Amino acid sequence: MSFLENIEFVDESRRTEIEVFLEEWNSTDAIVKVNSSGSTGTPKTIAIEKKFMLQSAKKTLEFLHLKKGDTAYLCLSTETIAGKMMVIRCILGELKLVVGPISTSSLSSYHSKIDFTAIVPLQLEHVLTNHPTRLQSIHSVIVGGAPVSDRLINELKEKQLTVFQTYGMTETISHVAMRKIGFQSEEFYTALPRTSFSLGKQDNLIIHSPDIGIENLETTDAVELLSPTQFSWKGRTDFIINSGGKKIVPEEVEKVISTLIDCPFFVSAVEDQSLGQKVILVIEGIESIRMNKIILAELLPKFQVPKEVVYFNEFVRTASGKINRIESMKLYPDAFKEIL
């Protein structure tokens, strides 16, 4: 029996998509072409060797203790590295593959047994809101593709649920590290087997994983390295703001502000004659919310408090739903602004 014949299609409309990927995977070509998300710049096509994709799949199977006969649920597109790797893990680990719709409600609407699934934060939010007990019955749920908000992490804690947040990118063939979030949350990411880390000159993460063709891959992620296999993520070095000589990591400010805001937002900076760069808060939706400088000043150090609040009608997003900060900021000149 071929692998395709053993797939259960909950969403029959995805059959052609899966057939096309399997044809590519089973071809004599040694590589698979994958598009990067473009969340921090221009999307690009990356050629990845199949032998490295198999090794990456093996790492995940080992880390999560998945075994032959387990059921994996696919609700991500195979146009992405995350979706492709779900299929490859099933092929290598001899897991049963169930293909569901690519929607926020996908996991909530499928009620049969699942041992393993990969979802994005929007799908996690939907299942937490509408069917949280669904997560209790799944052995391993991995969440990636975009940051998981503190609000969702707190909801997981309240409902005594634990999932794995992944760290990785297209270049690392999906994830190279994971951390538990929710009920048994961890502040640090742990490397997958045969993977290690070191620090660059800007305290940025460098990845070593020779069996997937990665040696000294320098990232733009600012981290605290706890050991060669564990790190705590701080933010992106290419987003760091220098305001009046103070270095500010936007993601750390966002973590605080997320306790006040439910709508999509991010912290950025614009040029300023006095400070060099001034911190701004960028919110999606003109009528979303109005920020109070006094409240912000109670929660943040003075140099981190946004000097301006900017309202965009709609953010620019990548194909996977991430906010594209760089492209969104190009809307700044025409946005509605308030001085705090």
Note whether 251 and 271 are same-domain residues: yes
> At which of 184, 209, 236 does a domain end?
236
Note whether 172 and 191 are same-domain residues: yes
Average pLDDT per consecutive 10 residues, the chain (340 residues; last block may be shorter): 88 96 95 73 80 98 97 95 96 97 92 94 92 93 87 92 94 95 93 97 93 94 95 88 88 88 90 88 79 83 92 85 88 87
What pLDDT sits at residue 143? 96
d(CA 239, CA 251): 9
Note whether 161 and 269 are same-domain residues: no
What pLDDT sits at residue 84? 96
> At which of 195, 214, 236 does a domain end?
236
Note whether 259 and 206 are same-domain residues: no
Beta bridge partners of 265: 283
Note whether 51 and 197 are same-domain residues: yes
Note whether 154 and 246 are same-domain residues: no
What pLDDT sits at residue 146? 79
Note whether 60 and 90 are same-domain residues: yes
> At which of 191, 213, 236 does a domain end?
236
Tokens of 74: 């696919």
Note whether 93 and 118 are same-domain residues: yes
Note whether 232 and 246 are same-domain residues: no
Q: What is the 3-state secondary structure (H, E, C) of 255-320?
A: HHHCCCCCCCEEEEEEEECCCEEEEEEEEECCCCCCCCHHHHHHHCCHHHCCCEEEEECCCCECCC
d(CA 194, CA 324): 32
Number of domains in the chain: 2
> The CATH number of the domain where 293 resides is what?
3.30.300.30
Note whether 120 and 35 are same-domain residues: yes
What pLDDT sits at residue 170? 87
Note whether 78 and 174 are same-domain residues: yes
Tell me the residue range of the domain where 315 lies: 240-339
Note whether 269 and 178 are same-domain residues: no
What pLDDT sits at residue 1? 62
What pLDDT sits at residue 287? 66
> The CATH number of the domain where 43 resides is what?
3.40.50.12780
Position 14, amino acid:
R
State if pTM tops 0.85: no
Position 180, amino acid:
K
Which of 32, 42, 3 is closest to 19 using CA atoms?
3
Q: Please state, in angstroms and as integers, the Cα–Cα distance from residue 103 to each residue in 14, 110, 145, following that order.
A: 12, 12, 14
